[in-house]
Amino acid sequence: MARKSSLLKRAAIAVVSVIAIYVILNASVSPALPSSSDLIREEDEQPRAPIHPKVKVYMYDLPNRFTHGIIEQHAIVRGGIKDDVTALKYPGHQHMHEWYLFSDLNRPETDRPGSPITRVSDPADADLFYVPVFSSLSLIVNAGRPVDPGSGYSDEKMQEELVDWLESQEWWRRNKGRDHVIPAGDPNALYRILDRVKNAVLLVADFGRLRPDQGSFVKDVVIPYSHRVNLFTGEIGVEARNTLLFFMGNRYRKDGGKVRDLLFQVLEKEEDVTIKHGTQSRENRRAATKGMHTSKFCLNPAGDTPSACRLFDSIVSLCVPVIVSDSIELPFEDVIDYRKFSIFVEAGVALEPGFLVGMLRRIGTEKVLEYQREMKQVKRYFDYDNPNGAVKEIWRQVSQKLPLIKLMSNREKRLVLRNSTEPDCSCLCTNQTGLVTSV
């Protein structure tokens, strides 16, 4: 028994010795396991890859008649033609996005820091194709000027020639235009050829004149109007804002804009309210600038379509927008919550005598200052001259369409059977309950 116990002891000592030798050898030849702080430090030292690679955009070198030629025609009608067409200045109006985007892509990459897109010179390298037609300017070449049939400039002819040119391009035909981006900011822009370009990403102010199969949130990008009043450069405050509510614009509009005349009838005799009829002119823009810069609230009713440039004039003026447009669509809502600096009022409620001014008079100074602070934070998004403003945000929105474009293009090429009786789900249908979430 003693012999057996002695053997067990020697076996135990041998096992312990082997384990000790293993531990000593392992410590001497293997590095210590890194601590959590070491891991963090090593991660920080590694170069970081960009989160989102830039989307590659090819801008077509369109025939001159679709770009500078339209500026030339605009100048000819107004007697301001020059020998060098490219030296002509793009005229100011509320849909200048097309000029700013065109100019941005013509700048060297070193002058476009932080842009989510990069211009490529070879269409074979492109993710998207930009069509830099001045479609909104084309609409107003003959604005208010009678033209004899068959003479002068024709916007309709320009549209037809544009779509014929596009359809002759290999890159348009490849995906039926799905990977093309076309500016159409004026609600009437390209109206004659919309059915032939509706696959493209359209840059629009709203969907007021588009059928559901022509435009949608999924496919297109809502962009801001160009503001027509001067930027307010002062500090937040109400001391110099003695007018409660301000509006200056065309009183008589069509469709949803008929609410304007009704609002005039309700508001024109109210104290502390300035509401004036006025059309676009240099003098009226000066008056509108002064009015918005000296008012606490600015009325933003619908126009011929749900949106209007006045909203963006209000924001850059730090004049709290009072939006009376039940179907309005707004740009950049993935990063901007308009409720933080705007007041939405249902049209039927706004027309109740005394309701609108009564509600606004109950809003205290601190709340107005809160609205102004929020506007000051976001107003760059609506400034096309700001290097971190509207242009960059439009390109960001456009770049986010790429995955869906690739999906739809590939799906289109392999899909054989289509059931035309099925509902078209190419748009996002929101607020189907009919619940009103405005005031």
Q: Convert the pLDDT of each residue in 250-269 to its tens digit.
A: 887 766 668 899 999 999 99
3-class secondary-structure state, position 121: coil
| pLDDT band with cut points at 50, 70 and 90 for residue 151 | low
Q: What is the pLDDT of residue 1?
A: 47
- Is pLDDT of 46 > 90? no
**Cβ contacts of 139 within 8 Å, gap of 6 or more:** 155, 186, 188, 189
Percentage with pLDDT > 90 across the chain: 65
What would you measure as the largest C-alpha separation in the chain, in angstroms?
128
- Is pLDDT of 35 > 70? no
Q: Give dist(CA 74, CA 138) in Å, integer.
A: 8
63-96 pLDDT, tens digit each: 999 999 999 999 988 887 766 766 788 998 899 9
**Cβ contacts of 39 within 8 Å, gap of 6 or more:** none
User: Between these two residues, 321 and 425, which has the higher pLDDT value?
Assistant: 321
In CATH terms, the fold of domain 243-382 is: Rossmann fold (3.40.50)
Q: Please state the rounded mean pLDDT for residues 41-63.
A: 70
CB 141 within 8 A of CB 157: no
Domain boundaries, the chain: 55-142+153-222, 243-382
- Is pLDDT of 280 > 90? no
Containing H/E element for 207? none
What is the average pLDDT value for the chain, to the nearest integer?
Answer: 85
Q: What amino acid is encoded at 346 in this protein? A: E
Q: What is the pLDDT of residue 208?
A: 87
Which of 137-146, 367-376, 398-407 has the lowest average pLDDT? 137-146
Q: In the sheet that 201-204 helps form, which strands lie side by side, from edge to edge?
A: 117-119, 55-59, 128-130, 180-183, 201-204, 221-222
- Is pLDDT of 243 > 50? yes
**Cβ contacts of 72 within 8 Å, gap of 6 or more:** 81, 85, 88
Percentage with pLDDT > 70 across the chain: 79
Q: What is the pLDDT of residue 419?
A: 62
Q: What is the pLDDT of residue 83?
A: 67
| pLDDT band with cut points at 50, 70 and 90 for residue 213 | very high
Q: Which two tokens stand for residue 70?
A: 């339209």
Containing H/E element for 120? none
- Is pLDDT of 358 > 90? yes
| pLDDT band with cut points at 50, 70 and 90 for residue 152 | confident
User: Between these two residues, 122 and 87, which has the higher pLDDT value?
Assistant: 122
- Is pLDDT of 41 > 50? no
* Residues counted in the chain: 439
- Is pLDDT of 291 > 60? yes
Relative orientation angle of helices 97-105 and 390-399, to the nearest 10 degrees? 80
| pLDDT band with cut points at 50, 70 and 90 for residue 305 | confident
| pLDDT band with cut points at 50, 70 and 90 for residue 422 | low
Which of 2-11, 49-58, 156-165 has the lowest average pLDDT? 2-11
Q: Please state the rounded mean pLDDT for residues 373-379.
A: 97
Positive or negative, the CA dihedral 416, 420, 422, 427 is: positive
Containing H/E element for 118? strand 117-119
315-331 pLDDT, tens digit each: 999 999 999 999 999 99
φ and ψ of 173, to 5 deg = -65, -30
Q: Give dist(CA 141, CA 138) in Å, integer.
A: 5
CA proximity to 226, closest of 337, 434, 427, 391: 391
Q: What is the pLDDT of residue 150?
A: 59
Q: What letter does residue 125 receive in the DSSP assignment?
A: G
User: Can you say how many angstroms the Cα of residue 383 is from the centroid of all Cα atoms in its chain?
Assistant: 11
Phi-psi region of 345 (alpha: psi -120 to 50; beta: other; left: phi over 0): beta
Q: What is the pLDDT of residue 316?
A: 96
**Cβ contacts of 124 within 8 Å, gap of 6 or more:** none
CB 359 within 8 A of CB 367: no
* Straight-line distance from the first to the last Cα atom of the chain, in angstroms, rounded to the nearest whole number: 97
Q: What is the pLDDT of residue 438?
A: 55
Q: What is the pLDDT of residue 149?
A: 62
